[in-house]
Structure 1
C-alpha cells in the first residue's frame, strides 16, 4: 500500500495529494459524526461528509500542497531552525487565517447559508483553537517530514482537527 501511494505520488503528485486529502477530510467528518456527536449510522449526514470530502479534495488539498512547495522554495534563512520558525510563522499568520475563512465560507455557501454569519459566529474561536495546536504540529512537519509527505502528515493529524472543524461548522 505504501509503495503504491509512493508510485502515485511520484507520477501525479497534486492529484494524489488532492484525492488523499479528500478521503481524510471525509474520515474527519465521519469521526465527528460518529465518535463526537454519536449520531449512529441511521442519522449520519452523508451530504455533510460529501461537502467535507469535496472541500478537502478540490480546495484544501491542492492549496496546501502548493503552499508547502512555496514555503520550501521561498522561505529559507541561514539557520535551519530560523527557517522552520519562519515557515511556521508564515503558515500560521497567512495560510491558517485565510483557509479557516475559506473553509467556513465555503461550507456556508454549500449549505445554502450566509458566509458572513458563519464567519461572525465561528471564525475567531476556530482560529484561536488552531493556534493552540498547529504551530507545534507544523514545527515537527517542517523539521522532520520530507516536502512530498508534508500534506499527508498534516492530513493524518487533521483527522482530529477536521472532526473539530466539521463539528464547529455544523453547530
Structure 2
C-alpha cells in the first residue's frame, strides 16, 4: 500500500488533472459494481426493492459500470479538481480568510453544499438517464423521483465529511479524500436510481411534487 501511495503522489505531482480524472473514473466504476451487488443482495431479502429489467439478470451490467465510470472521469475528476483548488484561492485571496480557520472551513463547506452538491446530483441523474437510453420524459420523472431523497440524505452526511476534509486534508488530496467517500456515495446513488418507484420514494414525491401538482391544477 505504501508503494501505491508513493506512486499516486508522484502521479499527482507530475500530472494532477490526469491523475484526478483517472482515479475518479476507477472509483466511481468500482462503486457501481458494489452498488449492483448490494441491490441484488437486498432484493433477495426484501420484497419491496424494485429492480429494473436490466438489473434482474444476475450478471454484471457492464454498461452501467462503464457509464458511471465515465461520469467520474468526465465530471467528478476535472470539475472536482478545479472546484476545490478554486474554492481555496477564492477564500484565501478574495475573501482573505485564514486557511483552515473556522470561518474558512465553514464557508467552504457551505458553498460546496449549496453549489456543488445539488449540481452533482442533477447532472448525475440526468446523465445516467440519457446515457442508458431513456427519453427526456423518463429522465424528468426520475429526477422528480430520485433527486430530492438523494439531496436530503446527502445533506445530512456530506457536511461532516467535508468539515474533516477542508480542515485537515491538504487541498491537493481533497478530491482523493472525496472520491474515497464517493465510492460509498456512488453505491448509494446507483442503488437509489435502481429502486424505481419504491414506496419510500413515492412518499417523498407525494410530500413535495404531488402537492405542487394539485395546486397547479
TM-score for both structures, normalised by structure 1: 0.94
Structure 2 counterpart of 1:100:
121
Q: Residue deviations 1:62-98, cap 9 Å, x none? A: 1111110111100242581111000000000011011
The reply to whether residue 55 of structure 1 matches residue 71 of structure 2 is yes
- After alignment, is 109-118 or 53-62 more displaced? 109-118
Q: 1:59 to 1:90 in 2, by over 3 A?
A: same
Structure 2 counterpart of 1:11:
14
Alignment root-mean-square deviation, CA: 1.7
TM-score for both structures, normalised by structure 2: 0.75
Alignment match of 1:30 (pick from 29, 33, 36): 33
Alignment match of 1:46 (pick from 56, 59, 62): 62
Structure 1 counterpart of 2:84:
68
Query: Is the 8 Å Cα contact of residues 165 and 177 (structure 2) preserved in structure 1?
Result: yes
Gaps of 5+ in 1: none
Structure 1 counterpart of 2:158:
134
Q: Following TM superposition, where does structure 1 have runs of at least 4 consecutive aligned residues deviating by more than 4 angstroms?
A: none
Gaps of 5+ in 2: 42-54, 196-217
Query: Is the 8 Å Cα contact of residues 20 and 81 (structure 2) preserved in structure 1?
Result: yes
TM-fit CA distance, 1:35: 3.2
Paired residues, what number?
A: 171
User: Between Structure 1 and Structure 2, whose CA radius of gyration is higher?
Assistant: 2
Query: Is the 8 Å Cα contact of residues 32 and 186 (structure 2) preserved in structure 1?
Result: yes
SS of residue in 2 equivalent to 1:112: coil
Alignment match of 1:149 (pick from 167, 173, 186): 173
Q: Residue deviations 1:29-88, cap 9 Å, x none? A: 11111134337x952111101111010011111111111011110024258111100000
